[in-house]
Amino acid sequence: MNEELAELIRQAMTGDKTSFGKLVCRYKHHIVNIAFGIVGNPHDAEEIAQEAFLKAYLSIYKLTSETAFYRWLVKITTNLSIDRKNANAKQYPAPLEEMGTILDNPRYTPEAILEQKERQRLILTALEQLTAEQRTVIVLRELQGFAYDEIAEILDIPLGTVKSRINTARLHLRDILTQERS
């Protein structure tokens, strides 16, 4: 973490609204992506991100260190996302345009873009078939790049449980995607 970011977090911890607003701008995309990865609905993901930032703002003074800010924010987001996922009886399909980014680059042919969208659709469909616990650890590990110990801390579960869930989720994803290709 660079000193400028650390200072911004310290100022936000003292109640500085402008500093917190800058943190929201900096992390919004990451937080929405984490929520989307878990709930699979872009509108829910936006709402979860807003709720996560509100919760963080209301309790940021409780942080003991600026270095803990991002993981703490991810933990809030993850918990809210799991709660939302469990509360939603109805599953919402995600529009292809909103589920990922395809670069607007002239070197991509229409066929390549179509193939990329199909891969994204298959992956999201496969993720939906995982349990909430498996989906959460896969999103945090594979899509957000968190280390196993960070995931254990974020989810407040043992490291062995994280490893087991990730392994099981990978096996399920492989089986699901293999069946889809057949």
Q: Where are the domains of the chain?
A: 1-92
DSSP designation for 177: H
Q: Tell me, which fold does domain 1-92 have in CATH?
A: Rna Polymerase Sigma Factor; Chain: A (1.10.1740)
Residue 100 CA to residue 15 CA, distance in Å, equals: 34
pLDDT at 167 (0 to 100): 94
DSSP code string of 79-101: HHHHHHHHH--S--PPPGGGS--
Residue 93: per-residue pLDDT? 44
Determine the Cα–Cα distance for residues 1 and 22; give it in Å rounded to an integer: 15
Of 135, 125, 146, which Cα lies nearest the Cα of 170? Answer: 135
Question: Are the beta carbons of 96 and 67 closer than 8 angstroms?
Answer: no
Burial status of residue 108 (CB atoms within 10 A of its CB: 0-12, 13-18, 19 or more): middle
Mean pLDDT in consecutive groups of 10 residues from the start of the chain, 182 residues: 89 93 95 91 93 94 88 94 75 43 54 73 83 90 90 93 94 86 68
This model's pTM is above 0.75: no
Task: Supply the pLDDT for residue 116.
Answer: 72
pLDDT at 169: 92
Q: Helix, strand, coil % (nearest 5) of the chain?
A: 80, 0, 20
pLDDT at 89: 44
